[in-house]
Amino acid sequence: MSPRTTSRSFPAPALLSLPTLSALLLGLPSLSSAFDCKEVVASDVKFNLKELGGPHVVRWEEEPDLDHEVQYKYNFTLDICEDLKKEEDSQTGCHEGTRICAIREETYLVGDRNATIQPIEIAGTYGKDEKARTLNPQIKLLHDSKSKSEDAQTGVTVELHGGRFPFDTDKKGLEQQAVIDFVCDKARTGLEGLEKQKQEEKDDETTRSTAQRRDDKKKEDEHSLQVVSYKQEDGPDDKKIKTLHLEWRTKHACEEDAPDAPVSSHWGFFTWFIIIFFLAMAAYLIFGSWLNYNRYGARGWDLLPHGDTIRDIPYILKDCLRSVKNTVQGGGSRGGYSAV
């Protein structure tokens, strides 16, 4: 059974105003705004990803673990612009400050044991002291990163941190992070398969026909947001870290369409030639003026080297323009007889 990805979205959550208000009252920057989706900057290239904001859900299934007779299914909920809202009556939601939350369903393949539900905080900002865990966003252009998107050449990669599972365990908990590859795709808005809905669609798998499931499988490739992998990797200092890797195809990740993106970071030959020419002329005039002042005690126009020539430049240009004008108009003699 290959991993299967489906996606949907919920209405935008209310903002978590308490952390932001506290930070403003204390004169400190808001930790929840450590990553600004409106201005994502990588190598002096700016991307505006605000159109991708809002809570989106991506479903993903791991390969069944036949040795332990168990299978894990995940609902990954993420909002790149705001913290997710924790439902007051929910017993399985992630803590406040979470940007990316996983709800893991552990299903037993044999026996009649019930499935268990477990929330996993993957990325977010938690706490305000020196031990606080923050998003700590790492942003790179896609072609400069170690992307798992083999065909991705243009876009931006965002790496978000702060998660841990179990959440309240400092020493034994497994660090979590998310790597999102925003891939340039001019044909996609990035919301394909993630259209906003006023309420959550509650589909009952037992009542859906085989044809409906086949159609859903066929439409999986149309989703702009996909799960690439969710697995344990080697982190810094030989620490183990579990990484959720997402691929998000959107036109908002195209460098040439990014607002305020520089056209080129290199100057051409003629630009350098003009700069060097003016620097050389300035050096010549300054050195020549200094020499005339110290050697001849010159003042005013006499300070400049070849001052007489420089003074005559307007007259020389005027004569040249008059000569060109006469040449263009022509000075031939009139034919016929003239009156005596």
- pLDDT, tens digit, for every residue of 67-80? 778 889 999 999 99
Sort 278 into a burial class: Cβ within 10 Å, 0-12 / 13-18 / 19+.
exposed
- pLDDT on residue 305: 79
- The residues pairing with 201 across neighbouring beta strands, listed in sequence order, are none
Q: What is the pLDDT of residues 223-260, one digit of tens each?
A: 899 999 999 998 877 788 999 999 999 999 998 655 55
Query: For 114, how many CA atoms within 13 A lie in the half-sphere containing its CB?
Result: 2
pLDDT given for residue 32 in this prediction: 42
> How high is the pLDDT of residue 167?
87
As a whole number of angstroms, the distance between CA 11 and CA 48 comes to: 21
Structure tokens, 54 = 């809002």
Which regions of the chain are under pLDDT 50? Answer: 9-33, 89, 152, 196-206, 217, 261-265, 333-338, 340
Architecture of the domain defined by 40-196+220-253: Distorted Sandwich (2.70)
Instruction: Look at residue 10 in the predicted model and tell me its pLDDT.
Output: 45
Query: 143 is written with which tokens?
Result: 């072609």
pLDDT at position 75 is: 92
The whole-number pLDDT of residue 271 equals: 87
CB 106 within 8 A of CB 115: yes
Residues whose CB falls within 8 Å of the CB of residue 241, separated by 6 or more in sequence, listed in order? 174, 175, 176, 177, 232, 233, 234, 235
The DSSP secondary-structure symbol of 218 reads H
Q: What residue ranges of the chain are covered by domains with CATH 2.70.130? A: 40-196+220-253
Q: Find residue 102's DSSP bridge partners.
A: 76, 120
Give pLDDT, residue 128. Answer: 78
